[in-house]
Each structure stands twice: as C-alpha cells, then as structure tokens.
Amino acid sequence: MRKAQIFRTALEAVLLSTAATADQSCTKETFSDLSLSGGEILDIAAFAVNNFSLPADPSLAVNHYPEAVTGLSACGVNVTYTHAGQNDTINTWVWLPEDWNGRLMGVGGAGWRTGNYWAIPHAASKGFAAVATDGGHYAEIDPSTVDRNTWGLKSKGNVDWNLLQDFASITLDDAATLGKAAAKAFYGESVKRSYWNGCSTGGRQGHMMAQKYPHQYDGILATAPAINWERWLLNNAYTQSFAAVNDAYTPLCELNAFQAAAIEACDEIDGVKDGIIMDPDSCSFDAATVVGQSYNCSTGPSGTLSSKGASVFTVATSPFVPEDSSLVNGRPFAYGLELGSALWAVANTTCVYGANETSVTCTRAPFNVSIEWIQNYLAKDASFNVFNLTHPDYETLFRQSIDQYSSIIGASNPDLTEFKKAGGKLITWHGLADEFIPPNGTIEYWEKVQRQDPEVDDYYRLFSAPGVGHCFSTNAPGWYPGDVLDALINWVEGGVVPDTLEAKTVGLAKERSANLCKWPKRLIYEGGDGDLASSYSCA
C-alpha cells in the first residue's frame, strides 16, 4: 500500500470516529472561548478520536524510533483563524489525549510544510497534548498534496510576504498559544511543561522559537536544522545547475559509487571498518583519483567512473565560495555535504538507457524546495529557468538571498539570552552523513553562540551523529539517538545534564550502539568490539 493511501485510510478512520459517541467535553462549545491576540478565530471544530491506529513509518519517526500508534483515544480540535487585514487563513490542529501527561508538544514541519499533521498521533499516544499548524498554506492533510510551493507569489514579481512570514515564524507562535489554551479548556488545568520537536524545517523552526519566542517552550528538540535556509538551499540547487551548464548529468548509481569510494578511502582512519566515516574532517578524498575505475549497478548498466561524475561529486561535497576564493566574515556562503553522504538529494537524475543499454541520457531530478526558493523568492518568477545559471550568477543570488531573507526565515541569530533567562533548554543533533543539510552549518551556529556566551552548555547542546543521514534512522548505517526526547525532558524537569546521547543503529542485521558526543568532542574508537558503546569515548 502506498504511503498516501495509508494516510487516507487513517484519515477516514479519524473522520468516521466523529460519528461515535464522544466525551461531552470534546465539543465545539468547550473551546468556544479560544482567542488569539492579533488573530480572528473563524471556526472551531472538535471531534472524538477513538481507537486510532497508524502504522510505523520511518519518515514520521522524527527524533524517535519508528513505532506504530495503536488504540489512541483523544479529542481532536481544528482551529481556523486569520490575521486581520492579511488575507490569510491558517489551520491549527490540536490532539488532546485521554491519558494526558500534563505536557504540550509542538510538532514541526518538513520542506514547505509548516507542520506535519501525521506526526501528531505519535506525540498524543505518548500522553502529550500535541499541536501543529499548516501555516496558512494547506488545509488538506493528505501528504501527497503539500510538498510544493504554489503560494509564494501573489503575482509575478510580487512575493506574498504575509504567507512567507506565517511559514517562517508567526504561526508557530500562534500554534503554541492555541495549543496551551485548548489544553486548559479541555482538561481544566494549564500545561505544566511545553516541548518542541522537529527536524530539518522543524529544526529551523525550533531554533526560531528559541530566538523569537523564548517563553513558549521549556524544552526544544530541533535537529538537522535548516537554520541557514537562505543559504543552504542555494548550494543544494547549485549542484544541479553546475551539472546542467557543464553537461555533467550522470546516473545516480555512478555518484553512489563515488560515495562508496570515499567511504572506502576514509573508513578505517577511525580504527574500525564499518562503512562509517566517524570524523569526516579527518578525511581527504579526491574523486579524480578513482576516475576510470569500474562500478556495478543494480538499477541499470554498470559502467566506469567518469570525470564528469567526479566533478559533480566534488561540487556537491565542497563549500560554495566566490570565484576569487574570498570568504564572508570568515565563512563560505554555504557548506558542502560531508564525505560519506549520499548525493541523491543534491544531484539526483532521471536516466533513460538506449538499446542494449549501450547509451544513457540523464536529466535533472532536483529537490523542488531549493528550485522553488530561487524561482519564487529571488527571481520572483515561477517559470524562471534555474538550470542555466553559472557560478557568478549564484554569487549574486547568495547575496540577494542573505540580504532579503535572513531576518525573516533565517534562524541563525546567536543571541539566545532571553531563552536562557527563561530557563529553556535546547538540544540539537546533526547526522554527519546528512544528504540534505550540511552539518557544518549547524556547527557554525553553535560556535557563534559559544563565542557570544561561553556558558552555552547551560542551555544549548549540540551532538554529532556519525554515519546518520537526514533526520531519520534508516538513511545511513550510523548511530541514531532515538531516545533523545527523554534526555531533553530529564534535563528540563530533572536537571539531568546530557553529556552524551544513547544511540543505536536501526535496520541492520546486527544492532550496534554508541554514545554520541556533545560538540566539540567527537566519537573516538578505543578498541574492542566495534558494535558496543563501551568501545568508544568522547575526546
């Protein structure tokens, strides 16, 4: 069964449950006094969620191990509102579980989604009053319809600034306020503690909450964060443009072979051969040195590593700097992927093979968010051709994007003073094999915060996850910290400071464990059984 069909089936179950006999407090009247400063409530709907189930799905397992939801009973609340004069319509979703733990959880989004409706049930199944928002962009909750930016422009040349700001931050603050109010109306008591959970876009949102709305959440779990939104999306797109301009589109299988060659060259530097580069900074690999080697492919004909493929691999794994090699405030415009990361998110292609597979023609298959960022927000033209842009063109786009959008959607303000004063705690981790968002951007942000406040460890901790891809536990063979939410709660509520995060591999024939290190410490193999956490230390 395809994912969209699974979700539609689950959605039908929720809607059918509204016909069931509900607890009398799960009615529209219970929530009739909800209000929002700066907002006008247009509609409130309440419905009973009875014996709800949802299959385990790694793409929904944000900061936890994949786990099915079964037998969930809750009160669902949909709040529709607008900001007066801004011509927007926002939907906020709240699920209030029968077995409430006294806490609220804000659920982050992904890509262009402000919130992920189908991540709400897991949070509710753990006892949290759970809240998410569509940011004013999608009332539909079928995930097959919400991944494109069709709302960025009012017309050619005119950005819809209200909807952009709704997506960037404003509706996240609104959702926290509405979630807390709905919980109080339903349970008759205030939320005791509030938490944020998100990765990627959700990671950016978590950092944004700490920076702009420091009193909304006591604990924020914001991982693999797109905090440099206005920069990393351009570098993601540049690899595709480079391939187009240089006629260098190659089969993804060939790029996978370059990735495998990099891992082979660097794997044992850390002392254990396991398909993981524990410290990519210690690795030096030149793709040109393996050009001419043969590779095998299970999805198409095998071949020989080409110089064009090597050039694409090099661009994808290199920082973007101006052609004169100058840096901006000592930093590149954006970082490249770490060696060992998959390239499908930045250099994906669609290939057609000729008769007897003697020839191949490959075309682009880009990550749409990066392309739409350039079209809608920089060119301000949804039909703009991104794929004839050169390196100097991208230099201009980087400066334009930073100048126009850093203060709106960027979440790299290192001043967390108010969050610290509020007693908030922030944990982030980033996979060192992240195929979408380079971890060096997150490290750069932590370093900026640390320079501003040497006591950063008191409230903000970053952990690196060797061999882990973007957000989920199944993208790469590294150690995934699926119990990190427990560590955050223990820090907020019990004062247990997390110096390491327990982590393990997921989906491998043999489970391996390690304790991830708080940055700037890194995981070091000390000897012994490489599958056991006791064989590693932080140094």
Active site residues: 200, 434, 470
As a whole number of angstroms, the distance between CA 64 and CA 439 comes to 20
Residues 6 or more apart from 185 whose CB is under 8 A from it?
A: 30, 31, 33, 34
As a whole number of angstroms, the distance between CA 427 and CA 110 comes to 18
Q: Are 504 and 480 in contact (CB under 8 A)?
A: yes
Residues 6 or more apart from 447 whose CB is under 8 A from it?
A: none
Token pair recorded at residue 210: 């700490």
Burial classification of residue 275, based on how many CB atoms lie within 10 Å of its CB (0-12 exposed, 13-18 middle, 19 or more buried): middle
Compute the residue count for the chain: 539
As a whole number of angstroms, the distance between CA 425 and CA 414 comes to 15
Q: Are 184 and 191 in contact (CB under 8 A)?
A: yes
The closest alpha carbon to 185, from 383, 338, 30, belongs to: 30
Strand, coil or helix: what is 425?
strand
As a whole number of angstroms, the distance between CA 141 and CA 16 comes to 16
As a whole number of angstroms, the distance between CA 78 and CA 10 comes to 17
As a whole number of angstroms, the distance between CA 62 and CA 30 comes to 31
C-alpha pair distances (Å), 104 with each of 50, 52, 97, 428: 20, 20, 11, 19
Residue 367 main-chain phi, psi, to 5 deg? -75, 115
Token pair recorded at residue 160: 């819809």
Token pair recorded at residue 372: 């739409």
Question: How far is residue 433 CA from its own chain's centroid?
Answer: 14
Query: Angle, to 10 degrees, between the axis of helix 229-245 and the axis of helix 307-316?
Result: 170
Strand, coil or helix: what is 534?
helix
Count of H-run helices and E-run strands, the chain: 14, 19
C-alpha pair distances (Å), 343 with each of 251, 253, 366, 531: 11, 10, 11, 27
As a whole number of angstroms, the distance between CA 324 and CA 48 comes to 62
Strand, coil or helix: what is 23?
coil
Question: How does DSSP classify residue 336?
Answer: P
Residue-by-residue DSSP string for 43-102: EEEEEEEEEEEE---GGG-TTS----EEEEEEEEEEEEEE-TTS---EEEEEEEESS--S
Specify the DSSP element, H or E, that contains 468. none
